[in-house]
Amino acid sequence: MSSGLASSRQCRVIRPVLFSQTSKRSNAAAGGRWGSRGSSPATIAARLTYDNVERRFGNTLAVRGVSLDVEPGEIVCLLGPSGCGKTTLLRLTAGLERPTGGRILINDSVVGSPQSHVPPERRGVGLMFQDFALFPHLTLLENITFGLKALPREDARKVGQSALERVGLARYADEYPHILSGGEQQRVALARAIAPRPGVLMMDEPFSGLDTRMRDEMREETLAILKETRATCMLVTHSCEEAMRMGNRIAMMRQGKLLQAGTAEEIYHAPANIHAARMFSDLNELAVVAKGGKADTPFGKCDAKDLANGQNAVACIRQRDVQVVPVSKGRAGRVLATRFLGDTALLEIGTEGLEESLYARVRESHAKQPGTDVGVKVNPADILVFPAVSEGEEDA
C-alpha cells in the first residue's frame, strides 16, 4: 500500500447530539410528509480504505485489485451493472466475506485481509440490505433494538423509539412489518441501520424495490438522514441518476475492477475509458483511426492526442450532443423512427456518410416525424475518442 494510505490520519470526531424538540419543530415546519420527527444522532465518522482488495470464489475473481479511500463522512456511490462485484465488496466491508487478497482498513486499522478478520459485530459497520431483511416475528421497535444488545434494555428502547421517530413511524413501534408498505419497510430498515450510530454505513441498492415516485422521495429523505448522522456511507446502485443524486463521489465498477472514481462532473466530462463512458451516457460509436493526434469523423476532426498514429479507435458521441437542425445547416439525414420518452424523444436518423443510424435525444417538442429530412450537427469538441476494444477485451 502507498505511504499516503499507510500514514496515520486522525478521523474527524463529531460530538454526538441528542434528539431535541427544536429539531422536531424544524422538521415539521419543513413540510415533510412523514410528520413530526426528531433529528438523527451524529456519529463518529470513520475513514474506509480498500488496499488492492481481491475476492476469489474458486476460479472466479469477483473483486479484482480494488483500491479506494473514502473520507470520514463522505457518501460514495458504488455504481455498476449486475454481477460487477458491488455487493461482494459491500459484504467484504461488513465482514460477511473475507478477502483473498489485499486489505480493508477502518481508521487505518486492518479489519479484513487473508491473515486478519475482525468479526462484523466489532467493525462499527451498519448494513442495509436490498430486501430490508426485517424480522417478521418482531415488532418494529424490536427490529431496531435487535442490534443494540450492548445497551441496557430501557436505553435501547429509547434509542429505537427515537430512530423510528426520525423516520416518521414512531406510532407503529408495536406493530409488525407485514402491515407496512414497501416504502415504510425501507424506512424501518434505515432506522435500524442508523440506530447503533455506525462509523460506516453500507447500503445495498436500498431503493430498487420502490416505485418511481416513492423512490425519489426516499432518496431525498435518506440523503437528509445521512447528512445528519454524518456516517461514512457506501451506497451500492446500478442507476447513474441515483449515483449522481446521492453521492459526493462515484466509484464505477466493471467485471470486479474499479474503473474510475470521482465526482459526477469529473466522470461525465472526462471518463477514463470507453466502459466508463458507456456506463454514464447513451452513446453513438463510430469506428475511426487516429492520425497525428486527431481522429477524422463525419463531423470534423476531434482530439485523439493520447492515441498512437494509425491506431484504431472509437469516436463516441452522446445522444444528447447530436443536434437536429434544418437540412441546409448540417449533414444530410432522414428521421427513420421516433420514440416518445415523456419529456424527451429519441430519434433514429439515417445520416449521410454513416453506415449505421445515429441516435439523437431531443426535447419532446423538437421531435420529428419519421420520413422528415433534417440536418445533423455535432460539435467535434464534444466527441470522446478511445482506443478500439477487441471482442475479448469487451468480456474481460
CATH number where 292 lies: 2.40.50.140
Pick 242 or 35 by higher pLDDT.
242
Residues 235, 75 contacting (CB under 8 angstroms): yes
Specify the number of domains making up the chain.
2
Pair 7, 124 in one domain = yes
Is residue 222 in some structural domain? yes
Q: Which domain covers residue 319, as residue numbers?
A: 282-391
Residue 88 has pLDDT above 50, yes or no: yes
% of the chain exceeding 90 in pLDDT: 64
Domain boundary among 269, 294, 310: 269
Pair 111, 207 in one domain = yes
CA dist., res. 393 & res. 396, Å (int):
5
* 379 phi/psi in degrees, rounded to 5: -75, 120
Pair 56, 193 in one domain = yes
Domain boundary among 243, 269, 295: 269
CA dist., res. 48 & res. 288, Å (int):
42
Pair 223, 320 in one domain = no
Residue-by-residue DSSP string for 341-378: -SSEEEEEEEETT-SS-EEEEEEGGG---TT-EEEEE-
CA dist., res. 99 & res. 86, Å (int):
14
CA dist., res. 344 & res. 365, Å (int):
8
Closest CA relative to residue 215, chosen from 237, 248, 247, 196: 237
- Residue that is written with C-alpha cell 455498476 in the block: 80
In the sheet that 75-79 helps form, which strands lie side by side, from edge to edge?
125-128, 200-204, 232-237, 75-79, 249-254, 257-262
Which amino acid is present at 231? A
Closest CA relative to residue 233, chosen from 259, 203, 205, 258: 203
Pick 131 or 281 by higher pLDDT.
281
SS3 (DSSP) at 65 = strand
Query: Mean pLDDT across the stretch 128-147?
Result: 88
CA dist., res. 223 & res. 225, Å (int):
5
% of the chain exceeding 70 in pLDDT: 88
- CATH number for position 124: 3.40.50.300
CA dist., res. 157 & res. 142, Å (int):
8
Is residue 396 in some structural domain? no
pLDDT of residue 390: 72
CA dist., res. 256 & res. 50, Å (int):
14
Residue 133 has pLDDT above 90, yes or no: no
Tell me the per-residue pLDDT of 108-132, one tens digit each, with 9 for 90 and over. 999 999 999 999 989 989 888 877 7
Domain boundary among 237, 269, 301: 269
Residue-by-residue DSSP string for 158-187: HHHHHHHHHTT-GGGTTS-GGGS-HHHHHH
Residue 28 has pLDDT above 80, yes or no: no
Residues 48, 124 contacting (CB under 8 angstroms): no
Pair 94, 221 in one domain = yes
- Residue that is written with C-alpha cell 487505518 in the block: 108
Pair 29, 136 in one domain = yes
Q: How far apart are the first and last CA of the chain?
A: 25
Pair 210, 245 in one domain = yes
pLDDT tier, 394 (very low <50, low <70, confident <90, very high otherwise) = low
